[in-house]
Structure 1
């Protein structure tokens, strides 16, 4: 038997997919039934993501699907009043953050279909899942576009990669907005010195709900992120919106300086923006890559600045992310 394994397990009545890499003492657990949530990832003995206390809470409490693991977001963050106009068509999304806003879309709460999974020395341990809007009439009623999301998580040598694709199988251009919301396990309140490094270019002025209040500027915070800024005292429920620089390597790092390890998170050029967020319900910190800034279709700025765009009929958008642990003074995973 090789060091990689992929298989199904039954946990709390849910069928999960577990990927294992014995060589790096790493494993990943995916919950296809609720948003295809990558709810747990451990690497080299470290918890990388914060899982829920139990899986049942995902299905019993509507907002729990946003709070743990790695929710998949379309559209990411809030849409004011749930309304916007794209290419002359008015869209009205459900107000799932009453009374005023639509929050994070529905693909993070719906069941996904597992297409295939497997493991080998050449390919690591992997699983491919898919979500089709056309199979959900309740979504098509307010968003009449046949988008197909296909995601492959792959664990190889201690690194967990996501290879994703979004295809418009419809006949009309659709508004396009996608993001991820990983909750990285960060030991706040333990006396740990924690710092954050991001290849940032500028900072947007935003409210505590990440609504944009102006155009981005180079700030002391965005400049400091290049070398590392302390986040030990980052405010609970605080958020920041950062435009990424033009560097090809978009790896962000959360450094636990006393414990001599780093959580590394990498995403590609499809995501020009990252939202930083500290929840008040878990010892976690989120780095959320977005294809657009919050509520971009309602902003009075050029779409090239905000990332507001469409996905044309027949178009296929690809993206990749990766996460791993780097151990200083020892072997690095990933």
Structure 2
């Protein structure tokens, strides 16, 4: 079956299958935790299948976790369009709010099956008064994510609709965890990354942007053209996005396999975070974000911060894709 309910690591799951590709979504977390090429034995995402207790403690380190709003906000407080927001401080070391509300709650499955695009599953939240998110994000809106799996790889479609009567901010990101290498027959040393970064934001001791840029180091200067080592040093870095040829993407090239895993994200993701778990040597997270860290508190124009505000009845949509192609290096 192209789309079927099953289990994964003891959790309720939806499995998508098409051609040589297979993917697993955990509705209890809204996280697509596995993308595989079963013919070649590739696993592109860091999976929690044998680490489910650790996953439940830290779901942001596996698969494609949903960040809304993404990353850190000073003291959990900000004002947008005249409305004050008070988010819980859930990172005591920095006294910030971190990563939003949708990563640790169950997502209803609203549709699944197969069509001309391939196997698909759609999950969505209808947020209104009484919903667990509403207490801290008091807006009426629908937040839907659709995953489509075909012979061409995985497509993610996001749609957020403001169904309320006042402006609503959209601040969205994904803490995508990519295996390095993605083949058990290869080595991390054979892998390099290309990433469409522009400038690096300077971060203070609370891991919040100062509003200034830092010079790129030697490896960062290699990222836009390829050839950077994803573990050259511990990274928890914040960058502007600078698309190339109409594409905003991360390309993980395996020189031994002659293949590249491509994560091509929507141009509306105006910023990247890059985190490699203290240079762990097994996975790293290229994290697309629509807005910069702490965006509402920055004394910068919205076209710089990337902050999006939807008028009543307006919607936001974004499409991203993961696939494999022959390496050009």
TM over 0.5: yes
Moved more, 144-153 or 208-217: 208-217
CA distance in 2, matches of 1:282, 1:178: 27
Q: Cα distance, 1:14 vs. partner?
A: 2.2
Which residue in the other structure is 2:156 paired with? 162
Q: Cα 1:169–1:282, aligned 2, differ >3 Å: closer, same or farther?
A: farther
For the residue of structure 1 that corresponds to 2:32, the secondary structure is strand
Is residue 70 of structure 2 the alignment partner of residue 76 of structure 1? yes
CA distance in 1, matches of 2:308, 2:244: 19
Is residue 190 of structure 2 the alignment partner of residue 196 of structure 1? no
Is residue 91 of structure 2 the alignment partner of residue 97 of structure 1? yes
Q: Cα 1:10–1:200, aligned 2, differ >3 Å: closer, same or farther?
A: closer
Which residue in the other structure is 2:46 paired with? 50
What is the total number of aligned residue pairs between the two structures? 319
Q: Cα distance, 1:197 vs. partner?
A: 1.2
CA distance in 2, matches of 1:123, 1:241: 33
Could you list the per-position Cα deviations for residues 95-119 of structure 1 after superposition, in whole angstroms to 9, with x for gaps in the alignment? 1222511111111111111011112
Which residue in the other structure is 1:293 paired with? 292
Q: Cα distance, 1:86 vs. partner?
A: 1.1
Q: Cα distance, 1:311 vs. partner?
A: 1.7
CA distance in 1, matches of 2:327, 2:222: 22
Is residue 33 of structure 2 the alignment partner of residue 33 of structure 1? no
CA distance in 2, matches of 1:176, 1:161: 21
CA distance in 2, matches of 1:258, 1:242: 31
Which residue in the other structure is 1:7 paired with? 4
CA distance in 1, matches of 2:302, 2:171: 12
Could you list the per-position Cα deviations for residues 164-205 of structure 1 after superposition, in whole angstroms to 9, with x for gaps in the alignment? 100111111112200111100013994623222123333322
For the residue of structure 1 that corresponds to 2:209, the secondary structure is coil
Q: Cα 1:218–1:320, aligned 2, differ >3 Å: closer, same or farther?
A: farther
Is residue 110 of structure 2 the alignment partner of residue 115 of structure 1? yes
* Match of residue 16, structure 1, among 13, 18, 41: 13
* Match of residue 129, structure 1, among 120, 123, 131: 123
CA distance in 2, matches of 1:211, 1:247: 30
Could you list the per-position Cα deviations for residues 279-328 of structure 1 after superposition, in whole angstroms to 9, with x for gaps in the alignment? 14672111111110000111111221111231221111000010112244
Matches within 5 A, 1:207-286: 207=204, 210-216=207-213, 219=216, 223-245=221-243, 247-280=245-278, 283-286=282-285
CA contact (8 A) 2:173 2:287 kept: yes
Which residue in the other structure is 1:332 paired with? none
Is residue 202 of structure 2 the alignment partner of residue 205 of structure 1? yes
For the residue of structure 2 that corresponds to 1:214, the secondary structure is strand
* Match of residue 178, structure 2, among 174, 178, 184: 184
Q: TM-score, normalised by structure 2?
A: 0.88
* Stretches of structure 2 lacking an aligned partner (at least 5 in a row): none
CA contact (8 A) 2:112 2:121 kept: yes
CA distance in 2, matches of 1:111, 1:157: 29
For the residue of structure 2 that corresponds to 1:305, the secondary structure is helix
Cα RMSD after superposing both structures:
2.5
For the residue of structure 2 that corresponds to 1:192, the secondary structure is helix
CA distance in 1, matches of 2:205, 2:258: 32
For the residue of structure 1 that corresponds to 2:139, the secondary structure is coil
Q: Cα 1:273–1:133, aligned 2, differ >3 Å: closer, same or farther?
A: same
Q: TM-score, normalised by structure 1?
A: 0.87
